[in-house]
Amino acid sequence: MKTCLRGGALALVAGALAAPAALAQQPTPARVTFSGYVRDASTGENLIGVAVVHPASGQGTSTNTYGFFSLTLPAADSTTRLLASYLGYQRLVLPLPGNKSQQLTLRLQPASSELQSVEIVGTRQEKLAETTRMGTANIPLNQIKAVPALFGERDVLKVLQLLPGVQSGGEGQNGLYVRGGSPDQNLILLDGTPVYNASHLFGFFSVFNADALNNVELVKGGFPARYGGRLSSVLDISMKEGNMQEFHGEGGIGLIASRVTLEGPIKKDTASFIFSARRTYVDVLARPLIKLASAGATVGYFFHDVNAKVNWKLGRRDRLYLSAYTGRDEFYARFKDKYNNGEYSEVRDELGWGNLTAALRWNHVLNDRLFANTHLTFSRYQFDVGIEDKEVRRNPGGQLQTDKFTLQYLSNIRDWSLKSDFDYVPLPDHYIRFGGQYIWHQFQPGAIQARSSDPDFNPNFNAGTRTHAQEIGLYAEDDYKVSERLKVNAGLRLNGFVVRGKLFPSVEPRLAARYLIGTEWALKASYARTTQFIHLLANSGIGLPTDLWVPATPRIKPQKAQQVAVGAARNLRLGGEDYELSTEVYYKPMQRLIEYREGASFLGSADSDWENQVTSGKGWAYGWEMFVQKKTGRTTGWIGYTLAWSKRQFPELNQGRIYPFKYDRRHDASLVIIHQLSPTLRLSGTWVYGTGNAITLSRGRYSLGYDWGEFEDYGPRNSYRMRAYHRMDLDLSQTRKKKWGEIVNSFSLYNAYSRRNPYFLYFREAYTDVRGNQQPAGYRQISLFPIIPSFSKSFKF
């Protein structure tokens, strides 16, 4: 029976893939098609999500991820004009010749930065109430850059944590916990290439440099069929493509890091490039102080990022892109003791982790209604620890002799992927997407290598086991306008994962719909089934690089989830200003989640087989979200609130009883306000509140005698709560115009009223304080960040 079902599903997808190609060959003499690209007039950058509308008929479409659009109209209706509008750009009205299909390039002029232009309200874009998509957030980059930041470092992931349904792991952390999920359940794409570890500085900063980005979209639910491989969310980030008209640059100098971005034409209107780099310099500033404090010691930490992209316009129908990203964190400590006669001993410790991604992309317009994107990508995440102990001594003959021992731990995951996506727009009421992907995975959860100058040294360490796996996905979806009130997005995704000779098939139906009530209100509903074939073994909740990526195996099955959501959306106009209101209720059961067994850890374990260290269980997440956003005007921002529950159950943990997930947070609220005081002065602020994290504490301590030591009696798992978390951040930025460009000076306050938020708790025995008062035994709170002022300087030329 299962074979028949899978065969039927394959036939359905095959038919969906074949239908557009067949339809594309059929003539439609009574209709004409206008297609092409929408670009920034000053830079040549493709614009994503631009509304292209034919006012006479009311028909419209929007540009895809690559700036392409296609709009088919009856020939009799095509003799008027097209209207293109996009937030932050002037509206473009283009007369149409009629009765003849054409390829067009629409160039939108950026809105002036003067204050009167800031007040202009965006024109006809697809309204929130009109789209079928649910649980999707798109934050304009100018808002991302305006939100106050820790140490002046603008961070995409920290801004996304201010959205309903998205939580941080803890104070200052940039991990995303979306609707009760964990960080490994987020598919993070940079130009279509997965990024496995998106954190710098042990989770305090993300790997994304906002100056190099073009678009940021987060999908929390109602996943379209084109996305697969994760349970909780998709973060789709697109890089800029480079200015095709003029050479430009921008950058910034902050307390701990500096950045620069350069872009310009290689050949005007034909090819362009963009290059962006960022590095911290805390290690350089602190090095003299460390040497003064400890002679012979060198300790430091830094991270760096490099983004690069080149694109060629091969012709009207073809464009080629080559992009790459590399980023790495390095912690190092070197201690050297010098003796007489040239003798010395030296110890070197190094800890490093980072990502490397590369992508070759080919865009091809097959015909006026069919667009193809072919993507060849490589992604690698690697973590390594190195220890070297060297001693230089004089042998009995008086010659210097070197004894050296080195130990290295290595863990990585590598992906090679080939993907083809097709966008087919036969009529304004249909937007069909279909395609397929093949991924070759290589996992190396951990390998230890040891070398010594001692010829008798014979190590017996875990040499590491490489596991290879293959993943295949096919999908088809149609965004179909059934009537003026009803619009449906229906899709199907087929996945297969092969590892150690075992095939894991997956059939994933996707459905989303909206029903208009009047002209402003819309009721929405969605359903999605998802499968995840890779797991993250986490020793802690703060995203340390020691976390290990491992595949599903015949013993450890793939994770699965379903998500149902129901909600409403409305476009509001109050006092001449536009607002978007959305509210959703969701329910997400999850199966085959994995956790370490009690007391188990892959690192330091005598058992090198990670499959013996984990146990499998299930989870539930459900809640209610409310979101009000304003994207235009002198004052912009949003208000978000989440009421949520997230639970777990593992037969071998907590005596098999249900317990709260570590990041179960009952109430989560955020307020973001960005106000343009004048054309050159901007004030922004955020306020967040969240129920305290769930933790496990001991209920008591007892001793079995002097020789046996002290034991702790722990209560149920995650049965205690830390104090509630709340914080306010402020930022004041001033822009100064120069002949060569502009400078922005920003002063910010993180944790403006210096709230002592809990970071972790520890137990302390009874003691007598400095005033002679007896303090009882109990748990004490550690807070991480008090009020932190910072200053940064940004520039553009």
**Top-confidence range, 140-154, 204-218, 549-563:** 549-563
Mapping DSSP to helix (H, G, I), strand (E, B) and coil, where does residue 23 land? helix
- At 546 the pLDDT is 59
Q: For residue 49, name the pLDDT band (cuts at 50, 70, 90).
A: confident
Mean pLDDT computed over 79-101? 81
Residue 656: its H or E element:
none
Q: Which residue has the tokens 């490589």?
A: 378
Mean pLDDT computed over 542-547? 52
Residues 5-14: contacts with CB under 8 Å, at least 24 apart: 5/507, 6/505, 6/507, 9/492, 9/494, 9/507, 10/494, 12/476, 12/492, 13/434, 13/474, 13/475, 13/476, 13/492, 13/494
Nearest to 558 by CA among 228, 200, 136: 228
Lowest mean pLDDT among 537-551, 641-655, 736-750, 779-793: 537-551
Q: For residue 361, name the pLDDT band (cuts at 50, 70, 90).
A: very high
Backbone φ and ψ of 313, nearest 5°: -90, 100
Q: What's CA 412's distance to the chain center, in Å? A: 19
Mean pLDDT computed over 145-150? 84
Q: Which residues are CB-neighbours of 226 under 8 A, at least 6 positions away? A: 421, 433, 435, 475, 477, 491, 493
Mean pLDDT computed over 168-175? 72
Is the pLDDT score of 172 beyond 70? no
Distance CA 558, CA 43 (A): 45
Residue 12: its H or E element:
helix 2-24
Cα maximum dimension of the chain: 102
Distance CA 642, CA 53 (A): 35
Tokens of 59: 């028909």
Backbone φ and ψ of 142, nearest 5°: -65, -30
Backbone φ and ψ of 690, nearest 5°: -150, 145
Are 51 and 125 in contact, with CB atoms under 8 Å apart?
A: yes
Distance CA 135, CA 222 (A): 6
Q: What is the pLDDT of residues 594-624, one digit of tens each?
A: 888 877 665 555 456 778 888 999 999 999 9
**Cα dihedral value 461, 464, 465, 470, nearest 10:** 170
Which residue type does 584 have?
E
- At 78 the pLDDT is 60
Mean pLDDT computed over 438-458? 79
Is the pLDDT score of 296 beyond 70? no
Protein fold of 2-118: Immunoglobulin-like (2.60.40)
Which CATH architecture is the domain 136-691+723-796 placed in? Beta Barrel (2.40)
- At 298 the pLDDT is 76
Distance CA 48, CA 108 (A): 12
**Top-confidence range, 118-127, 137-146, 432-441, 748-757:** 432-441
With residues binned 3-state (H G I as helix, E B as strand, rest as coil), the percentages for the chain, rounded to 5, are: 10, 60, 35
Q: What is the pLDDT of residues 10-35, one digit of tens each?
A: 443 444 444 444 444 444 457 888 88
Mean pLDDT computed over 220-243? 91
Burial 386-416 (b: 16+ CB within 10 A, else e): bebebbbeeeeeeeeeeeebebbbbbbbbbe
Distance CA 555, CA 230 (A): 20
Distance CA 49, CA 362 (A): 20
The region that residue 631 occupies, defined by phi over 0 for left and psi between -120 and 50 for alpha, beta otherwise, is alpha
Are 570 and 522 in contact, with CB atoms under 8 Å apart?
A: yes
- At 10 the pLDDT is 42
Mean pLDDT of the chain: 83
**Top-confidence range, 29-38, 113-122, 629-638:** 629-638
What percent of the chain stands above pLDDT 90?
40
Mean pLDDT computed over 28-48? 83
Instruction: Name the residue ranges covered by the structural domains of the chain.
Output: 2-118, 136-691+723-796
Mean pLDDT computed over 368-377? 94
Mean pLDDT computed over 559-567? 95
- At 396 the pLDDT is 77
Distance CA 401, CA 555 (A): 51
- At 22 the pLDDT is 46
Tokens of 261: 């971005």
pTM listed for this prediction: 0.86
Burial 102-137 (b: 16+ CB within 10 A, else e): eebebbbeebeeeeeebeeebbebebbbbbbbbbbb
Q: Which residues are CB-neighbours of 758 under 8 A, at least 6 positions away? A: 171, 692, 693, 722, 723, 725, 781, 782, 783
Q: What is the pLDDT of residues 189-220, one digit of tens each?
A: 999 999 988 888 766 778 888 888 888 999 99
Mean pLDDT computed over 153-163? 87
Task: Return the ∠ at Cα 200 (arms to 195 and 206), rounded to 5°.
Answer: 60
- At 373 the pLDDT is 95
How many residues are present in the chain? 797
Is the pLDDT score of 674 beyond 90? yes
- At 119 the pLDDT is 35
Tokens of 687: 């306020």
What percent of the chain stands above pLDDT 70?
86
**Top-confidence range, 330-339, 672-681, 771-780:** 672-681
Task: Return the ∠ at Cα 592 (arms to 193 and 414), rounded to 5°.
Answer: 25
